[in-house]
């Protein structure tokens, strides 16, 4: 080998590399700027989480009869509050009062035993009750005063006290720390008083014996350990698995010259992007699965057998949660990589995208960051936090639903973006295209929205409505409903139609309703709610908390509001605003799919927009009826009438308890069978009337 030639080639390659600004940015600029920002950001986030935890008052339950002054001792500094409503079950309360329930001997340390906090006690009734209260997040910790705690105050013995907490929750850990500090002070004062009364030297007696018990089961503790790094690894490995295939199937083909050959073949761009999309997606999932299996095998080999206790079903479910996020990631990678001219260009394009998607998922490694209403709509991060929540058995059904819903919406938008990119041959052949043209942001005077436009509008309005309603949660129900309806549904609808030049009358079905159509709307609107409440709610009964929240909403925050105001806010406002968006803009965009695909998809989107898995089936059913009503009559106003009646009658029943009781819905979430059967007859009559309405499309007047 001629070293001189090798050095010349080395110099050439280094020179070309250093001349490339994008390479310099990736090699030097990005690490120098990005890593410090990320580290500082994560540190600030961790500090803010810790400060937020320390600023919150710990809510504890006090079970048993406390000695004199103990309650005041633990609440004196204002950091701990006793929740008197979080009492023990009756059997536990009776056992503590009668002295039949005592602290298990296994949890009482002696001079030679391990610390009480490290001992395990059996499923004692108090432990079971405390675990339910703490892991259910009703309170942060339980302080149990066993039967001998109060007598020991006056005598020479040691009163038995136990703290039950959840090591997975930061608020519970903070409550434990605060209780221990308060009890230490109380114990010191008690011992000092005994020593003074008996003339003993300080430190002679033990005044209070405190036992701390971690109520988190083994699977939950293991899930906490795995939840710190496994979600991040799953996301990053999924990203990495699709990174190079996405480049190779786009920029790589351009470089090899095979992209031109593919475009000359008798296949459509949609077929091309579909095949490539599925190939990259499957590769991404296989890579993630291989890494999970390898990681699991390594951990079982290195760690002791009892260090990790987690069911395979939980891990499998966590892996299944990757499906929507990998769909999103794959589409983004393909769309971006299609702009690259060669493989090197593709790496430069995708590396920032990779880091932008992967690094936020590292938030799962910070304690205190968890899945909630705010993080459920953050792309990629929501799935990572959902996996973390599944590992610690703390994933609420509605949060699972919202996370999967938002991830599916983002994936749909990304897929549509990739499809538009692959529909531009000049981009696939190495050319450039304007962002406005690529995203279809040009005006279409006199036209109608496309299915892709309708789905994109739904995804954007869904996110806007969700975060907007969270910001308005302290504004009161009336203000929230009005701003949500007019500001987040109606205003964007009118702005999109006007901004893109769509035909107003045809897009929004602004046609005078036929008389038979109005009659059908009245019959359907006055009966659909009863079918939903009498049949569909029985299939998936909502939790009591959701029922109470809906009642509070229908009563306008529970206040004595007049019935006309309830109808205006709960019936008329959603009817106008939601119908203009769903049965106007969205249904108009979906018309090209055909009658039933458009109706079913519009109804599904309407159900998803209500952001609750328990309300999905009833709202889908009502949305399907409203969509069919507007489709047959060609008028948005029939949908408005039926929607207003549906909401208004439901609100009236909540408002008038006597009427609700007469219909058999006074003590349960669903309606009785007799009124449900009567409503079914009325609904059938409405559908029959609707069959006689002549289907007619709205046309724009010729100018």
Q: How confident is the model at residue 107 (pLDDT cuts 50, 70, 90)?
A: very low
Distance CA 186, CA 398 (A): 43
Q: What is the mean pLDDT of the chain?
A: 78
641 has a pLDDT exceeding 90: yes
122 has a pLDDT exceeding 60: no
Crossing angle of helices 673-691 and 515-525, rounded to 10°:
160
* Contact partners, residue 598, CB within 8 Å, separation at least 6: 587, 590, 591, 592, 627, 631
The tens digit of pLDDT for each residue in 433-442 reads 555 555 555 5
> Which position has the higher pLDDT, 349 or 292?
349
Q: How confident is the model at residue 645 (pLDDT cuts 50, 70, 90)?
A: very high
Q: What local confidence, expressed as pLDDT, does residue 222 receive?
A: 72
**pLDDT (mean) for 479-506:** 90
- In the chain, the percentage of residues whose pLDDT exceeds 90 is 18
> Which position has the higher pLDDT, 549 or 130?
130
Q: What local confidence, expressed as pLDDT, does residue 443 receive?
A: 60
Give the residue carrying structure tokens 């203009």.
580
494 has a pLDDT exceeding 80: yes
Least confident interval from 28-32, 168-172, 212-216, 282-286:
28-32
Q: How confident is the model at residue 205 (pLDDT cuts 50, 70, 90)?
A: low
Q: How confident is the model at residue 579 (pLDDT cuts 50, 70, 90)?
A: very high
390 has a pLDDT exceeding 70: yes
701 has a pLDDT exceeding 60: no
38 has a pLDDT exceeding 80: no
Closest among 318, 301, 305 to 392, alpha carbons compared: 318
For the CA atoms of 383, 387, 388, 393, what is the dihedral angle to 10 degrees? 130
> Which position has the higher pLDDT, 664 or 656?
656
> Which position has the higher pLDDT, 108 or 183?
183
- List Cα–Cα distances, 430 to 246, 247, 338, 345, in angstroms: 16, 14, 9, 11
Q: What local confidence, expressed as pLDDT, does residue 529 receive?
A: 84
Buried b (16+ CB within 10 A) or exposed e, 324-339: bbbbbbbbbbbbbbbb
CB 53 within 8 A of CB 368: yes
Q: What local confidence, expressed as pLDDT, does residue 119 receive?
A: 40
581 has a pLDDT exceeding 90: yes
**pLDDT (mean) for 440-451:** 70
Distance in angstroms between the alpha carbons of the first and the last residue of the chain: 81
Q: What local confidence, expressed as pLDDT, does residue 98 receive?
A: 83
**pLDDT (mean) for 451-474:** 85
Q: How confident is the model at residue 114 (pLDDT cuts 50, 70, 90)?
A: very low
**pLDDT (mean) for 520-546:** 83
CA-atom Rg of the chain in angstroms: 32
Q: What local confidence, expressed as pLDDT, does residue 554 receive?
A: 66
Q: How confident is the model at residue 220 (pLDDT cuts 50, 70, 90)?
A: confident
Distance CA 389, CA 223 (A): 8
Closest among 211, 222, 218 to 117, alpha carbons compared: 211
Q: What local confidence, expressed as pLDDT, does residue 625 receive?
A: 94
Buried b (16+ CB within 10 A) or exposed e, 498-523: eebebbeebbbbbbebbebbbbbbbb
- In the chain, the percentage of residues whose pLDDT exceeds 70 is 76
Distance CA 449, CA 588 (A): 7
Q: What local confidence, expressed as pLDDT, does residue 524 receive?
A: 94
Q: Check residue 116 and report its DSSP letter.
A: G
> Which position has the higher pLDDT, 76 or 37?
76
Distance CA 454, CA 582 (A): 9
**pLDDT (mean) for 265-283:** 75
Q: How confident is the model at residue 163 (pLDDT cuts 50, 70, 90)?
A: very high
Residue 654, SS3 per DSSP: helix
Q: How far is CA 42 from the centre of its chain?
A: 22
- Beta-carbon count within 10 A of 257 CB: 8
Instruction: Give me the phi and psi of 429, to 5 degrees please.
Output: -95, 10
**pLDDT (mean) for 132-147:** 89
Q: What local confidence, expressed as pLDDT, does residue 692 receive?
A: 86
The tens digit of pLDDT for each residue in 364-374 reads 777 777 888 78
Least confident interval from 41-55, 306-320, 559-573:
306-320
Which range scores top for mean pLDDT: 468-472, 482-486, 539-543? Answer: 482-486
The tens digit of pLDDT for each residue in 422-432 reads 777 655 555 55
CB 165 within 8 A of CB 214: yes
518 has a pLDDT exceeding 90: yes
Least confident interval from 35-44, 282-291, 592-601:
35-44
Q: What local confidence, expressed as pLDDT, does residue 32 receive?
A: 54
2 has a pLDDT exceeding 70: no
576 has a pLDDT exceeding 90: yes
- Beta-carbon count within 10 A of 192 CB: 14
116 has a pLDDT exceeding 50: no
Which range scores top for mean pLDDT: 57-61, 317-321, 543-547? Answer: 57-61
272 has a pLDDT exceeding 90: no
Q: How confident is the model at residue 508 (pLDDT cuts 50, 70, 90)?
A: very high
16 has a pLDDT exceeding 60: no
Least confident interval from 47-51, 105-109, 113-117:
113-117
Instruction: Give me the phi and psi of 403, to 5 degrees please.
Output: -65, -45
For residue 130, how many C-alpha atoms fall within 13 Å in the half-sphere facing its CB?
29
629 has a pLDDT exceeding 90: yes
Which range scores top for mean pLDDT: 101-105, 356-360, 379-383? Answer: 379-383
511 has a pLDDT exceeding 50: yes
697: left (phi > 0), else alpha (psi -120 to 50), else beta? Answer: beta
**pLDDT (mean) for 400-421:** 83
Q: What local confidence, expressed as pLDDT, does residue 702 receive?
A: 41
Q: What local confidence, expressed as pLDDT, does residue 642 receive?
A: 95
Tokens found for residue 419 = 């499809």
Least confident interval from 242-246, 315-319, 381-385:
315-319
> Which position has the higher pLDDT, 33 or 322?
322
């Amino acid at each position: 080998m001629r070293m001189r030639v090798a050095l010349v080639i080395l110099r050439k390659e280094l020179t070309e590399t250093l001349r490339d600004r994008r390479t310099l940015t990736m090699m030097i600029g990005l690490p120098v700027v990005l890593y410090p920002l990320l580290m500082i950001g994560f540190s600030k986030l961790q500090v803010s989480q810790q400060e937020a935890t320390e600023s919150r008052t710990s809510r504890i339950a006090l079970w048993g009869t406390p000695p004199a002054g103990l309650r005041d001792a633990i609440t004196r500094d204002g950091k701990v509050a006793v929740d008197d409503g979080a009492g023990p079950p009756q059997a536990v309360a009776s056992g503590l009062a009668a002295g039949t329930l005592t602290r298990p001997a296994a949890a009482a340390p002696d001079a030679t035993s391990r610390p009480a906090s490290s001992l395990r006690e059996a499923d004692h009734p108090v432990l079971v009750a405390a675990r339910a209260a703490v892991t259910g997040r009703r309170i942060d910790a339980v302080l149990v005063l066993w039967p001998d705690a109060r007598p020991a105050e006056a005598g020479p013995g040691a009163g038995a006290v136990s703290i039950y907490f959840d090591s997975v929750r930061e608020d519970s850990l903070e409550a434990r720390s605060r209780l221990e500090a308060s009890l230490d002070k109380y114990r010191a004062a008690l011992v000092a008083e005994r020593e003074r009364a008996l003339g003993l030297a300080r430190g002679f007696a033990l005044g209070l014996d405190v036992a701390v018990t971690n109520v988190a089961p083994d699977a939950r503790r293991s899930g906490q350990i795995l939840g710190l790094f496994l979600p991040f690894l799953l996301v990053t490995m999924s990203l990495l698995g699709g990174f190079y295939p996405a480049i190779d199937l786009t920029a790589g083909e351009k470089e090899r010259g095979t992209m031109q050959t593919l475009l000359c073949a008798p296949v459509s761009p949609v077929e091309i992007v579909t095949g490539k999309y599925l190939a990259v997606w499957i590769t991404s999932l296989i890579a993630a699965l291989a890494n999970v299996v390898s990681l699991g095998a390594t951990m079982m080999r290195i760690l002791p057998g009892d260090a990790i206790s987690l069911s395979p079903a939980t891990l499998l479910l966590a892996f299944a949660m990757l499906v929507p996020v990998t769909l999103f990631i794959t589409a983004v990678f393909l769309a971006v990589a299609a702009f690259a001219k060669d493989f090197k260009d593709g790496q430069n394009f995708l590396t920032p995208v990779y880091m932008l998607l992967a690094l936020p998922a590292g938030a799962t490694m910070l304690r205190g960051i968890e899945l909630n209403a705010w993080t459920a709509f953050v792309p990629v991060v929501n799935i990572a936090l959902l996996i973390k929540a599944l590992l610690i058995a703390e994933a609420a059904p509605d949060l699972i639903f919202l996370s999967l819903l938002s991830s599916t919406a983002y994936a749909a938008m990304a897929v549509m973006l990739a499809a538009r990119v692959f529909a531009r041959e000049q981009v696939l052949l190495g050319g450039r295209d304007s962002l406005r043209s690529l995203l279809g942001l040009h005006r279409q005077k006199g036209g109608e929205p496309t299915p892709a436009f309708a789905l994109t509008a739904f995804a954007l309005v869904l996110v806007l409505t969700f975060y907007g309603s969270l910001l308005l949660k302290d504004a009161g129900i009336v203000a929230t409903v009005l701003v949500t309806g007019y500001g987040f549904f109606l205003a964007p609808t009118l702005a999109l139609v006007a901004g893109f030049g769509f035909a107003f009358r045809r897009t929004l079905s602004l046609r005078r309703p036929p008389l038979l159509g109005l009659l059908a709307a009245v019959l359907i609107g006055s009966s659909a709610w009863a079918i939903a409440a009498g049949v569909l709610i029985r299939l998936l009964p909502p939790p009591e908390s959701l029922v109470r929240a809906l009642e509070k909403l229908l009563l306008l925050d529970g206040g004595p509001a007049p019935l006309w105001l309830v109808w205006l806010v709960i019936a008329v406002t959603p009817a106008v605003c939601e119908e203009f968006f769903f049965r106007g803009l969205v249904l108009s965009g979906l018309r090209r799919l055909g009658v039933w695909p458009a109706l079913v998809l519009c109804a599904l989107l309407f159900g998803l927009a209500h952001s609750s898995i328990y309300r999905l089936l009833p709202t889908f059913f009502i949305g399907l009826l409203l969509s069919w009503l507007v489709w047959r009559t060609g008028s948005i106003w029939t949908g408005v009438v039926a929607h207003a009646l549906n909401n208004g009658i439901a609100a009236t029943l909540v408002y008038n308890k006597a009427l609700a009781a007469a219909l058999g819905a006074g003590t349960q979430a669903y309606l009785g069978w007799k009124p449900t059967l009567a409503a079914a007859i009325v609904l059938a009559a409405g559908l029959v009337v609707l069959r006689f309405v002549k289907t007619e499309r709205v046309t724009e007047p010729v100018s």
